[in-house]
Amino acid sequence: MISPHPIAALIGILIVVLSIASGLIWIERRLLALWQDRYGPNRVGPFGLFQVLADTIKLLAKEDWIPPFADKPVFIIAPAIIMVTVLMSFAVLPVAPGIIISDLSVALLFFLAMSSLGVYSIVLAGWASDNKYSLLGGLRAAAQMLSYEVFMGLSLMGIVLLAGSFSLTDIVHAQQRIWFIVPQFLGFLLFLVAGLAETRRLPFDLPEAESELVAGFHSEYSGMKFGMFFVGEYLGITLISAMITILFFGGWMGPVLPPIVWFLIKTFFFLGLFILIRASLPRPRFDQLMAWAWKLMLPLALANLLVTGAVLLAFYR
Amino acid sequence: MFSIVRTLWDVFLHSFQRRVTRQYPEQPAYLPPRWRGRIVLSRDPDGGERCVACYLCAIACPVDCIALQATEDSNGRRYPEFFRINFSRCIFCGYCEDACPTYAIQLTPDFEMSEYKRQNLVYEKEDLLISGTGKYPGYNFWRVAGVQIDGKDKGQSEREEPPTDLRQLLP
Amino acid sequence: MAIIYIDDKPHQADAKQNLLHACLSLGFNLPYFCWHPALGSVGACRQCAVKQFRTPDDKHGHLVMACMIPAVEGTRISIHDPEAVAFRAGIIEGMMQNHPHDCPVCDEGGECHLQDMTVMTGHNYRRYDFPKRTFRNQYLGPFVNHEMNRCIQCYRCVRFYREYAGGNDFNVFGIRNTAYFGRYQDGVLESEFAGNLDEVCPTGVFTDATHKHHYTRKWDLQFAPSVCVHCGLGCNISPGERYGTLRRIVNRYHGDINGYFLCDRGRHGSEFVNSDQRIRQARLRRNGQLQAVSKAEALEHIRQVLTSSSRVIGIGSPRASLEANFALRAAVGERNFFAGIFQRELRLLNRVLDVLRNGLAPAASLREMENSDAVLVLGEDVTNYAPRMALSLRQSVRQGPMAMADKLKIPHWLDHSVRELAQDSKGPLFIASIAATRLDDVASETYHAAPDELARLGFAVAHKLDDNAPAVSGLTLEQTALAERIAQALRSARQPLIVSGLSCHSTAVISAAANIAQALRRTGQPSRVTFTVPECNSVGLALLGGRPLEDAFAAVRNRAADTVIVLENDLYRRASVQDVDALLLGAKHVIVLDHLTNATSTKAELVLPAATFAESDGTLVNNEARAQRFFQTFVPQPDVQESWRWLRDAIIASGRQDFAAWENLDHVIASMAVEVPALAAASKAAPDATFRMSGAKVPRQPERYSGRTAMLANIDLSEPKPPDDPDSPLSFSMEGSPDQPPSPLIPFAWSPGWNSYQAWNKFQEEIAGPLRGGNPGVPLVEAAAQPQQEYVRDVPAPFQPGDGEWLIVPFYHIFGSEELSIHSHGVKQLSPGAYLAMNDKDAERARLRPEDRIEFTIAAISYQAALKVRADLPQGIAAIPAGIEPLQGIQLPDWSRIVRVA
C-alpha cells in the first residue's frame, strides 16, 4: 500500500525526525542535569535552546581531520552509513493514519534489516581509523549487534503472531482492542533491552566506553563526521522509541487528541525513559553483556514466542 | 531487576530536588577577604607607593612571573621603575604577599580577569597600583626603616634616637 | 699539619693557622665578622666562639674565640656545644639591637654577611624594643655609598682602608656604641681601592653607589667568569647582567692575582658596555654619511671590498682578545697583520718577554709580591699604571716586621698584635720613579729622576750586587749611596722583587731591571721580577707577533695597501692626527670593528659592532704571560657579535669557505695553536665548550634567578628559549649542574647559607689559598732552563736638561688614562683635565705660573694645556696626563719647547 502523500510525508518526517534528534541532544543534557541536580545548558538562547545550534556551528567550524594513517574512503563513508540506515527505517514508520512514507507489508523485517546494517558504520569506522581503541570499539559493536539482533527479532515475533502481519500499520490497527504491551509484556522488555543495545546507548555503550577505549570507534573522528555519529545515535533512540510506541503502545491511537499528538507523546515518553536509564544505570562488563544476551535474553525470547504461539493455537484457532 | 527499577525511580525523584548549581555571574559567590585572587600593589597611608622594589616577591614566586626594576628618587626613596606580573603564569599561591616586607603586594578577592588575548594578562605597575592601603591599613614601611627620605630625617623613624653627635665624647 | 678534634672527630689542620681558618677550611659553618681571610684576626666581634676542651676527659670546657686560638696539634673544640651556640646567638642579637629595619631597601640584601650569619646562628626575633641609635651619612665619592645606621662595629672597613690599603682619610670616630666609620668630613675617598669596602663590609654600610640606580639583587644577576680589561694585570671579575645591561662588577677570587680585592677602575670602569656611544649596528658610509645597515648588507659590502682590493692590511689591538687578533691575522694573512702599537712599545714588550723567557727570575704573581721582603720599583707609578699591584706591594712591606713577630712567636694571622709590634717599621721598598707616587708613604726611600737616570740607578744597583755587571760612570754621590742601600736590601732579602714596566717607555729601564735580576741570580740570590704592561692583552699581542703600526702607515702611504681593517683600536689615541688621517683617508676602504663610537670609527667606511668583554669570550694574556679565558656574560643585541665572528664571516664572504669550520671559539683557538705555537697553551686556559659536569653545563644564573616568565612578557608572552652558547661550557640559564665548577668556570660565589662574597671560602682548597683544582690561567712563556748569562751593557748617558726644552713624559692616571673606563661616570668625575706639569724651579725660571695656559709642540703639532707646578718632578722634565683628551696620540717621551699662550 502506498501512502497518499509520500513526498510530503517524506519531507515532513525527515524534518521532524532530524529536529527531534538534534533537539534530543539539548533535552538529554537538560534532563541529565535535572536528575543530577544541575541546570545543564541554559546560557545560549532561552533555556539554552540554541546550545545545539552553537554546538553545530562549533562542529562545522572544527578542523575536519582525517588521520594520515586512516583508510580514507572508508573513514569518510562510515559515518554516513549510520545516518542512512536509521533514516531509511523511518520510511516505514506509520506516524498517524496517512502519515507514512512507504507502508511496506514487510515493514518490520525492513526495520530489522536496516538496524542490522547500521553496525557496518561502527565496524568500518573502527577499522578505518587504524587505531587499536577504535578497532576494539568496532569489534565490540559487531559482537554486540550480532548477539542482540537475534533476540530482538525473536522478541517481536510474538507481536507478529498476534497481529498476523509484518506491516506496521496492520500492527497498530491490531491494537484497537488492547495494546500489545499487555499480552506481550515480556516481549516489550526484551525489545527495550535489545533496542538499547542496538543503539549503543548507556548502559550498553561498550563500543564507545570512554573510560576504557578513549572514545571507542569514533576516537579519531572530529568535526561534522563526529557530528554524524552523534546525530545518528539520537536518530537511533528516536527510532526505537517510535517502534516501541507502534509495536506495544498502540501507535497513534488515543482519545480526544489528534493521532499525531498521541504518537509524539508516547514517543517522547520513551525518549525520556531512555535518558532516565542513561542517568541511572552503570555500564556492564562486556562478558556480562554477552552472557545476558545468549544465556538469558535469547531463551526468554524463545520462550515468549513459544508461549504466545501455544496460547494462540489453544484459544484463537 | 527490582534494584534497576528502584534506581530508575530514585534518579527520577531527583527531578524534584533543589539544584546545587549557583548561577555564577547573576549570583556572585562570596569570597573571603583573604581569598587569593588578582594581585594589586597598594599605597601607604600617605598615598605613596608602598613597594620599595626589594625583589623579595620576585624571588618568592615559584613560577617566576614577577619582574621589576628598582630605582630611587632624588630623596632616597626607592620604588619600582617598572613592575610586571605575567598573570598568564601566575598560580595565585600568595607567596609574594607572604614575602612582601611592606604589605605592598596583596592578593584580592577578585578572579574575574579573563582576556581574549593572552598578552593582555601582562599587568604593568599602572595596572596593579590601587589608590588605597588594601588589607593592611596604617602600616608605612618608611616610618620604620632607618634610611632617610624626603620628609623624614635620620632619627625620625619609629623608635629611633636622634642622630649621634660625633663631636661630643661624653660617655 | 696538625690533628685537631672538632666535636670529637679528628681533622687535619694547618698548625700555622687559627681555629676559625681551620674550621672554615674544613667546610664547617662557623659565623664570624671581624675576621677576614685577607685581614687576619683581631678577636673583636666575639662571634666565632667555640668551646675548647683541655683533654679528652674535660667535659666542662671553656669558651674561646676560634679566630684567636692557633690550631695546634691536639686542640679539642666543639662548634655545636649548646653553650657556644647560645653564646653566638647572644652576640648576634646584641649586634642586631641597633641594626635598622632596612633590608628591603638595602643594597646588601641577598648577599649580606650579616644576614647569613644571623640565619646561621638562628636569631630570628628581635626582643630589644628600645630606640635605636642613628647616624648621619657622608658623601664618600662616586663609588661608595654610606649608610652608617647599619653598622655593627666590626672594624673591618678601617682595618682594610687604613692598614691594608694605606688610606688615611677614613677612620673611626666616637666612642662606645656610637663608633662612627667615615671621613673627617664629606668628600671623595682618596684610596683607589675604596670600592672594596662594598665587599669588606659585612653588611650594608658601604655599598656600590654606581649600582644603586639600576639596582638588582645578586640572585637576579647573570654572571660569567671574566677578566678585567682595564689594565694589564688580568684581575678576575664577575660581571653581572640583568635586562640586557651590565649592572656591576664584583671581585672573582683568584689566589695568585687579585685575591679578594680589585681596584676602583676595574670595579667601576665597565659602564662603557652600556654606553649610548655603543655601536650596536653595522654602519656603512653612503653619500658621506655613516648609515645603519643590516648584517647581510655589511657582509656583502665586505665581500665587494675584499675581492676588489689589491692588498688588505689588518691593524690589531692590545685590548682585543687573542682570538680576535688571530682572526684578523687569518683574514689578512700573517704578512699583512700589524700589531696596532708602535715599534717603540712593541720593542719594550718584546724586551719584557725576552726577560721572562730567559728565566733569570720568574715572573711574580701579585700573591708572590705580597710575600716579597725587599722590593725595588724601577720607573713605575704602579698605583696609576697597574693599580691592583700597588695593593700587593703595600703588603710586601709587612714581610720585614713579620720577622720580629716570628722571633716573639706571634702568629702572622694575629693581625692586631703583629701591627702593634711592627708599629711604623716597614720592610724595604725602594721606589725610583719620575715623580712622587701614591706608594711613597710606605717606601723606605724614593728617588725621582728622568727615565735615563732611573735606568742608570738600576744599572748601578746591578753593579753593586755583582762587579761583573756594567759599571755606571758619572754617578752622583747621592745615587751611589742609594744604589748601595738598595743593593744591600736586595742582597739580604729572602725573596727580593724587582718591579719595572712600560710606563716610562724606556728600554734602558727594563734592561736595568733585567740586569739586577741577572746580578742577583749570579750571586745566588733567587729573585722575582714583574713588569707592568699598558693594556689587557699587550703581552698576548706581542706573543702573536705582527709588525708595528708605523709600517701600516707606510704601507698605505706608499700605496702598497688599499684596504685597512682596524680591530678594536682607536688609532687617534696612539698616533698623531696627521698620521692617522693619512692612513684612514689614504686607504680606499677602511673597515673598523669596535664597541664605541670614537674618532677612528667615525672616519671609517664600514663600522662593525664588536662585542665587549661582557658580550664575548676570549683569551687575554696578562703581564706575567698568564693566559686567562673570559666568558660571555650576556647576549647582546642581535647585530653585535664577537670580533672574531665578524672576521670569520668576512673571510667566508671573501670566498674562503674553509673558514666555515670556525663554528665556535674552540675552533679558533685550535687553529691558533697550530699557526702560532707560542700561543698553543692558551687552549688550556679553561675547559672547552664540550666540557660538562654531570652531563650539564655550568649555569650562569643563580638558582633563584627570578622573573624568568615575566621579564620579556611585555614584548611577547611566549618565553623565548634561553640562548645557546656554542663557545663555552656555560649556559644562559639557571639550569645546569649544581656541582662546583672548575676554577676557570666559576661565574659567581655562592654556597648554601653563604650568599655574600664570603662564599669564596667554599671554593678554596684552604681559606685564602688557591681555588680548588688550581687557580685559573696557564703560563704562555716558559723560562729557559739555561738562562743567558749576559748583562746588558749599553748604559744610558746621564740625563741633560734641555736648553729651553723639556723632555715631556706621559703620566698615567688610574682614572682617566684608560680608554674604556673613562666612559664610566665616576671615573670621568675623578679623572684630571688636560695639564702640563713642570718642576717649580723650572717654572720660575721660565716665568710661568700655575694655571697659565701653555703650549707645547710635538711632531709639528701644537697642544695647549693648563700648567701645573709640582716640586716632585725632576728638573728638565715636563709631564702630561696620558690618554686624556685632547692630549692624545702624542708619542712620548719627546722634547718640546713650552711657551705661554697669550
Q: What are phi and psi of C469, to 5 degrees?
A: -70, 150
Q: Which amino acid is at C736?
A: G
d(CA C728, CA C617): 8
Q: Computed from CA positions of residues A188, A189, A193, A194, in that sequence, does the dihedral angle turn out positive or negative?
A: negative
Q: What is the pLDDT of residues C700-709, one digit of tens each?
A: 999 999 999 9
d(CA C862, CA C206): 45
Judged by CB atoms closer than 8 Å, whether chains meet at C174 and B169 is answered as: yes
Identify the bridge partners of residue C248 per DSSP, sorted by sequence position: C240
List of residues 6+ apart from C707 with CB closer than 8 A: B58, B61, B64, B65, B66, B67, B68, C220
d(CA C45, CA C154): 6
Q: Where in chain C is the domain with CATH 2.40.40.20?
A: 805-900
Q: What are phi and psi of C317, to 5 degrees?
A: -150, 140
Predicted confidence (pLDDT) at residue A2 exceeds the cutoff of 70: no
d(CA C31, CA C47): 6
Q: Give the residue among C634, C714, C711 at the shortest CA–CA distance from B64.
A: C711
- Residues from chain B that touch C133, judged by Cβ atoms under 8 A, are 161, 164
Cα of A96 vs its chain's centroid, Å: 20
Q: Give the residue among C37, C49, C159, C50 at the shortest CA–CA distance from C94.
A: C49
d(CA A295, CA A275): 27
List of residues 6+ apart from B67 with CB closer than 8 A: B58, B82, B83, B84, B86, C706, C707, C710, C711, C713
Judged by CB atoms closer than 8 Å, whether chains meet at B121 and C717 is answered as: yes
* A residues 194-233 lying closer than 8 A (beta carbon) to B: none
Grid-cell match 583573604, residue found: B34
Residue-range domain boundaries for chain B: 29-136
Grade residue C77 by pLDDT with cuts at 50, 70 and 90. Answer: very high
- Residues from chain B that touch A279, judged by Cβ atoms under 8 A, are 11
Q: Which amino acid is at A148?
A: Y
Q: Which three cell numbers stand for residue B162?
A: 636622634
Nearest to B14 among A35, A39, A281 (CB): A35
Grade residue A161 by pLDDT with cuts at 50, 70 and 90. Answer: confident
Mean pLDDT of A37-62: 84
Predicted confidence (pLDDT) at residue C696 exceeds the cutoff of 90: yes
Contact C891, C842 (CB under 8 A): no
Predicted confidence (pLDDT) at residue A215 exceeds the cutoff of 80: no
CA neighbours closer than 13 Å in the CB half-sphere of residue C663: 6
The whole-angstrom distance between C758's CA and the closest CA on chain B is 21
Contact C561, C588 (CB under 8 A): no
Q: What is the pLDDT of residues C729-747, one digit of tens each?
A: 999 999 999 889 999 999 9
Q: Which three cell numbers stand for residue A250?
A: 498502540
Mean pLDDT of C648-674: 93
Q: What is the architecture, at CATH level 2, of domain C347-533?
A: 3-Layer(aba) Sandwich (3.40)
What DSSP element (H or E) covers C270?
A: none
The whole-angstrom distance between A40's CA and the closest CA on chain B is 9
Q: Give the residue among C759, C726, C772, C730 at the shortest CA–CA distance from C747.
A: C730
Mean pLDDT of C365-390: 94
Amino acid C815: pLDDT: 94
Nearest to B84 among C176, C215, C710 (CB): C710
Within 10 Å of residue C74's Cβ, how many Cβ atoms?
Answer: 12
Judged by CB atoms closer than 8 Å, whether chains meet at C131 and B160 is answered as: yes
Predicted confidence (pLDDT) at residue C13 exceeds the cutoff of 90: yes
Judged by CB atoms closer than 8 Å, whether chains meet at B4 and A281 is answered as: yes
The whole-angstrom distance between C426's CA and the closest CA on chain B is 33
Q: What are phi and psi of C484, to 5 degrees?
A: -65, -45
> Which residues in chain B show pLDDT less than 70?
none
Residue A107, CA distances (Å) to A111, A197, A199, A243 in order = 6, 21, 19, 11
Predicted confidence (pLDDT) at residue A53 exceeds the cutoff of 90: no
Give 3-state DSSP helix, strand, coil % of chain B, rounded to 5: 20, 20, 60
DSSP sequence for C196-218: GHHHHSSSTTEEETTTGGG---G
Contact C498, C516 (CB under 8 A): yes
Predicted confidence (pLDDT) at residue C865 exceeds the cutoff of 70: yes
Q: Is the peptide bond before C70 cis (omega within 30 degrees of 0)?
A: no
Q: What is the mean pLDDT of chain C?
A: 93
CA neighbours closer than 13 Å in the CB half-sphere of residue C721: 3
DSSP sequence for A48-111: GTTHHHHHHHHHHHS-----TTS-HHHHHHHHHHHHHHHHHHHTT---BTTB-SB--TTHHHHH
Grid-cell match 651590565, residue found: C246
d(CA C84, CA C48): 9
Amino acid C863: pLDDT: 92
Amino acid A181: pLDDT: 81
Closest residue in A to B17 (Cα–Cα):
A37
Interface of B with A (CB under 8 A): 4, 7-8, 10-12, 14-15, 17-21, 23
Pair type for strands C778-779 and B122-123: unpaired
Q: Is the peptide bond before C893 cis (omega within 30 degrees of 0)?
A: yes
Grid-cell match 599602572, residue found: B126
What DSSP element (H or E) covers C866?
A: strand C861-869
- Mutation test of the interface with chain A: which of B5, B8, B9, B13, choosing the one with the most A Cβ atoms within 10 A? B8
Q: Which three cell numbers stand for residue C846?
A: 721660565
The whole-angstrom distance between C153's CA and the closest CA on chain B is 15
Q: What are phi and psi of C93, to 5 degrees?
A: -65, -40
Classify domain B29-136 at the CATH topology level: Alpha-Beta Plaits (3.30.70)
The chains found to touch A (3+ Cβ pairs under 8 angstroms) are B
Amino acid C391: pLDDT: 95
Amino acid B32: pLDDT: 92
- Residues from chain B that touch C136, judged by Cβ atoms under 8 A, are 154, 163
The whole-angstrom distance between B32's CA and the closest CA on chain C is 28
Amino acid A4: pLDDT: 65
Mean pLDDT of C680-703: 93
Highest mean pLDDT among A49-53, C574-578, C788-792: C574-578
Judged by CB atoms closer than 8 Å, whether chains meet at B20 and A276 is answered as: no
Q: What is the pLDDT of residues C524-569, one digit of tens each?
A: 888 999 999 999 999 999 999 889 999 999 999 999 999 999 999 9
d(CA A174, CA A191): 19
What DSSP element (H or E) covers C241?
A: strand C236-242
Q: What are phi and psi of C600, to 5 degrees?
A: -70, -45
d(CA A244, CA A196): 11
Judged by CB atoms closer than 8 Å, whether chains meet at B163 and C135 is answered as: yes
d(CA C122, CA C89): 7
Q: What is the CA radius of gyration of chain A?
A: 20
Q: What is the pLDDT of residues A54-88, one digit of tens each?
A: 888 888 888 888 888 888 888 888 888 888 888 88
Q: Any alpha helices (H) in C60-161, and if so which ranges? A: 82-96, 113-121, 156-158
Q: Where in chain C is the domain with CATH 3.40.228.10?
A: 347-533
- Residues from chain A that touch B4, judged by Cβ atoms under 8 A, are 280-281
**Distance, first Cα to last Cα, chain A:** 28
Contact C840, C854 (CB under 8 A): no
Predicted confidence (pLDDT) at residue C616 exceeds the cutoff of 50: yes
Nearest to C707 among B64, B70, B159 (CB): B64
CA neighbours closer than 13 Å in the CB half-sphere of residue A259: 14
Predicted confidence (pLDDT) at residue A212 exceeds the cutoff of 90: no
Contact C747, C698 (CB under 8 A): yes
Better-scored residue on pLDDT, A156 or C258: C258
Amino acid A1: pLDDT: 47
d(CA C196, CA C390): 14
Residue C93, CA distances (Å) to C113, C123, C127 in order = 15, 7, 8
Classify domain C805-900 at the CATH topology level: Barwin-like endoglucanases (2.40.40)
DSSP one-letter code for A217: G
Q: What is the pLDDT of residues A221-263, one digit of tens each?
A: 888 888 888 888 888 888 888 888 888 888 787 787 888 888 8
d(CA B100, CA B56): 6
**In residues, how long is chain A?**
317
d(CA C401, CA C422): 5
**Which range is least confidently modeled, A180-184, C177-181, C763-767?**
A180-184
Percent of chain C surpassing pLDDT 70: 100
Q: Beta-strand (E) ranges in C542-654? A: 563-567, 589-594, 606-609, 618-621, 626-630
Q: What is the architecture, at CATH level 2, of domain C2-96?
A: Roll (3.10)
Judged by CB atoms closer than 8 Å, whether chains meet at B14 and A280 is answered as: no
Grid-cell match 676560634, residue found: C66
Amino acid A75: pLDDT: 87
Q: Is A35 on the interface with B (CB under 8 A)?
A: yes
